C-alpha cells in the first residue's frame, strides 16, 4: 500500500476488524484507513451479507478502480461483490493447503470464494499448482507474485543486545526456532533435534520463540527428555532479529507455510536456515547448501541433526550460506521489485 502511495496512487485500506495498530501505521504514511466492524460473532449469513452490502457501497462511493482483498473472510465478500462494482478485483490468497489440513476446504463459503473469483494472486508456485491440481481452479485465473517486503522497516540488531543474548544462553551451539506453537508447525521436532544433538555430545541450547496451544505439551516433552537446562521458551519477543543474530542455526520443521516471514527475517541477519522440502515457497528460492538447507519433511530430526553436526565447524560455509540467503531475499522479495509486477499486471 505504501509503495502504491509513493507512486502517486490514491490508496485506501478497508478492514473488517478494528485494525488499531495497522491503521495508525498506515495513516501516518498517507494511506486512508477505514474499519467496518460488526458486533457479535464474525460468522453467519447475516454477518457476511452486511459486509457485502458495505463493500459494494464503499467501492462505488470511493470510486475504487482496483481491489486487493486479503484473507478468507474478506475474500468471500469480494468474490461476490466484484460482480456489482466496476473495480478489477484480485483475491490475494495467503495459504496453500491449510484448508485441507484444517478441513475447511469443504465449506460452501470456501468453494464459492474461489469458484467465483476472476483473478487470484498467490505467493508461490506451489500454491498455484496446488489450486490447479487439488482444487480444480482454472490456471488462467491464478497469478504468482511473491510477497513484498520493505526491509527498511526492520530495525537492525544492536550488537550489544546480541552479545547479551549470547551471554544469557551460553553454549557452543545456539539454536533458534520461531513460530506459532501449533500442530502443523511441528515445534516438537525442534526439541527432538536438540535431544539428538545432546546425545551426540554437543553443548547446545535452543531458544523457542512463539506461543500456541501446544505450549504445555512441549514443556512436558522437554521435561520428559530431561532438557530443562537446554531449552527456553520466552514466548513472543519484539526484537527477533537480535535473537536471530545471536543464533547459529534457525530450525523450521513446519509443513504449513505459504511464504514464511521468519525465514526471510533470518536472511536479513545471514542466519543459516534448515527448512523442509516441498513446503510453502521454500523450493522457489532456497537451494540446498547454497543459501540454506532443505531436508525431507518426514525425516527432519535426523537430517537437521546431521547437517548441524557436519557443518557447524565450517564457519566459511555457514557464512557463505547466510550471505547468499540475504542476497536471495533482497532480489526476490524487495518491494521495489515486486511493485513492478503489480504495475505490469494492471497494464494488461
112: domain CATH number?
A: 3.40.50.2000
Q: Quick one: 320 and 205 in the same domain? A: yes
Answer yes or no: are the C-beta atoms of 120 and 139 closer than 8 Å.
no
Mean pLDDT, residues 102-106:
85
pLDDT at 348 over 80: no
340 and 325 inside one domain: no
Instruction: Note whether 199 and 119 are same-domain residues.
Output: no
Whole-angstrom distance, CA of residue 42 vs CA of residue 243: 36
Q: Quick one: 196 and 321 in the same domain?
A: yes
> Does 325 lie in the same domain as 243?
yes
Sign, CA torsion 20/257/213/101 = positive
Q: Phi and psi of 148, rounded to 5°?
A: -110, 135
Measured CA to CA, the distance from residue 329 to residue 266 in angstroms comes to: 10
Do 170 and 121 lie in one domain? The reply is: no
Same domain, 123 and 221: no
Does residue 62 share a domain with residue 37? yes
| 111: alpha, beta or left? (left if phi > 0; alpha if psi -120 to 50) | alpha
**Same-domain pairing of 222 and 321:** yes
Confidence class of residue 257 from pLDDT cuts 50, 70 and 90? very high
* Cα–Cα distance list, 8 to 2, 33, 68, 152, 288 (Å): 10, 17, 17, 20, 41
Strand partners, 88: 66
Overall domain count for the chain: 2
Residues 117 and 244 in one domain: no
Span 37-92, pLDDT tens digits: 998 877 888 999 999 999 999 999 999 999 999 999 999 999 999 999 999 999 99
Question: Both 200 and 244 in a single domain?
Answer: yes
What's the whole-model pTM score?
A: 0.92
Phi, psi of 7, deg, nearest 5? -80, -5
**Residue 75, domain extent:** 2-151+334-345
The length of the chain in residues reads 348
Tell me, yes or no, whether 125 and 213 share the same domain.
no
Amino acid at each position: 500500500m505504501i509503495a502504491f502511495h509513493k507512486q502517486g496512487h490514491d490508496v485506501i485500506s478497508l478492514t473488517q476488524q478494528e485494525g488499531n495498530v495497522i491503521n495508525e501505521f498506515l495513516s501516518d504514511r498517507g494511506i486512508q484507513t477505514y474499519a467496518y466492524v460488526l458486533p457479535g460473532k464474525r460468522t453467519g449469513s447475516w454477518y457476511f451479507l452486511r459486509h457485502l452490502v458495505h463493500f459494494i457501497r464503499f467501492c462505488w462511493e470511493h470510486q475504487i478502480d482496483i481491489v486487493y482483498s486479503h484473507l478468507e473472510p474478506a475474500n468471500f465478500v469480494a468474490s461476490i461483490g466484484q460482480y456489482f462494482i466496476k473495480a478489477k478485483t484480485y483475491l490475494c490468497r495467503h495459504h496453500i493447503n491449510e484448508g485441507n489440513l484444517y478441513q475447511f476446504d469443504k465449506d460452501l463459503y470456501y468453494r464459492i470464494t474461489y469458484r467465483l473469483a476472476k483473478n487470484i494472486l498467490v505467493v508461490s508456485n506451489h500454491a498455484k499448482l496446488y489450486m490447479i491440481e487439488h482444487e480444480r481452479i482454472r490456471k488462467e485465473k491464478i497469478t504468482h507474485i511473491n510477497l513484498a517486503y520493505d526491509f527498511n522497516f526492520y530495525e537492525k540488531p544492536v550488537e550489544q543486545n546480541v552479545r547479551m543474548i549470547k551471554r544469557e544462553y551460553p553454549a557452543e551451539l545456539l539454536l533458534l526456532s520461531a513460530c506459532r506453537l501449533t500442530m502443523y508447525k511441528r515445534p516438537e521436532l525442534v526439541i527432538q533435534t536438540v535431544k539428538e544433538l545432546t546425545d551426540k555430545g554437543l553443548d547446545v541450547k535452543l531458544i523457542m520463540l512463539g506461543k500456541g496451544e501446544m505450549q504445555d505439551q512441549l514443556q512436558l516433552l522437554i521435561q520428559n527428555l530431561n532438557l530443562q537446562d537446554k531449552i527456553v521458551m520466552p514466548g513472543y519477543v519484539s526484537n527477533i532479529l537480535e535473537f536471530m543474530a545471536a543464533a547459529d542455526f534457525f530450525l523450521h520443521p513446519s509443513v504449513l507455510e505459504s511464504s514464511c516471514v521468519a525465514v526471510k527475517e533470518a536472511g536479513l541477519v545471514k542466519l543459516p536456515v534448515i527448512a523442509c522440502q516441498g513446503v510453502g515457497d521454500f523450493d522457489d528460492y532456497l537451494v540446498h547448501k547454497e543459501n540454506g538447507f532443505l531436508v525431507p519433511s518426514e525425516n527432519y530430526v535426523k537430517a537437521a541433526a546431521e547437517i548441524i553436526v557436519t557443518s557447524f565447524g565450517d564457519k566459511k560455509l555457514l557464512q557463505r550460506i547466510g550471505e547468499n540467503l540475504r542476497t536471495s531475499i533482497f532480489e526476490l522479495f524487495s518491494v521495489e521489485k515486486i511493485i513492478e509486477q503489480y504495475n505490469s499486471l494492471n497494464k494488461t
